[in-house]
Structure 1
């Protein structure tokens, strides 16, 4: 485990796990949303492909994402391990709800200095709506990719419950 993707639906805990594994395993951690959103108004990084190419060329890294479409194949081609947090909606939706309420109330700065807002809750791009609507699609995409021989030999660790993930981390 030297080049790790932590994947799953919105709210599964990808960033939290990746950050923790980074410290435990001594791997440089890269937060995909921070690479993608680089400025006010949720501006998108026009050098994302270059940045991800540079990061994934390194011998050791951990990234918390399935990957945005423009860099997805690159990340999967270069990873040696996928850790899949395959949690049901009943687990991820309360997590997203709590996180979004906290971020909105505290005005916590996010990627590129952006913030979640109450009006943002009405958008289909809001994390809660995204987690609800994209959960099945994300699961299908990860299932397809982890079974794709093009990405072999890719070690996949699939966890269906947070307790299983925690036990695995503790065993490291």
Structure 2
């Protein structure tokens, strides 16, 4: 899966994993493994091991440390190419819910009100990186180095739902 933060990559990856009977791996859970959003020192080797398997569904091909590895090993990329007007309400609702309920996330971390002031917060990240991510994914999907990678691109959640229902 590729797309900006809040597009629904994890939700779709879980559903796709169930439909295809393939293991699902959540990249954020692999990347963050401790308090204070500590980064997993073995992230690259763990992802490499998972991606060497015969089939898998990963909810993000965007982590720079493993981006090329995953694009090289994937046979299909699902691109949730939704506009900001769709993504931003989703990411804002999710982050408000997580902050208010103190939902425990990756590595035992939580979103906090103070965290909203950080440029790393999902809402800020989704807003500021939308165009950059779009351009980068567009470039990669056209890169002959990744042929014969199949790209399935959706511009609206309704299209994604219809495709999944017919899978």
Which of 42, 47, 60 does residue 47 from structure 1 map onto? 42
Number of aligned positions between the proteins? 167
TM-score where L is the length of structure 2:
0.99
Q: 1:10 & 1:56 partners in 2: Cα distance?
A: 22
Q: Please say if residues 9 and 138 of structure 1, whose CA atoms lie closer than 8 Å, have aligned partners that are also in contact.
A: yes
Query: Mapping of 1:1-172 within 5 angstroms?
Result: 6-172=1-167
Q: Which runs of 5+ in 1 are unaligned?
A: 1-5
- The offset of 1:68, in angstroms, is 1.0
Q: 1:154 & 1:43 partners in 2: Cα distance?
A: 33
Q: 1:91 & 1:27 partners in 2: Cα distance?
A: 28
Could you report, residue by residue, the CA deviation over 1:78-123 in whole angstroms, capped at 9, with x for unpaired residues?
Answer: 0000000000000000000000000000000000000000000000
Q: Which runs of 5+ in 2 are unaligned?
A: none
Q: Please say if residues 22 and 29 of structure 1, whose CA atoms lie closer than 8 Å, have aligned partners that are also in contact.
A: yes
TM-score where L is the length of structure 1:
0.96
**Backbone CA RMSD of aligned residues:** 0.5
Q: 1:156 & 1:91 partners in 2: Cα distance?
A: 21
Q: Please say if residues 32 and 67 of structure 1, whose CA atoms lie closer than 8 Å, have aligned partners that are also in contact.
A: no
Q: Please say if residues 12 and 87 of structure 1, whose CA atoms lie closer than 8 Å, have aligned partners that are also in contact.
A: yes
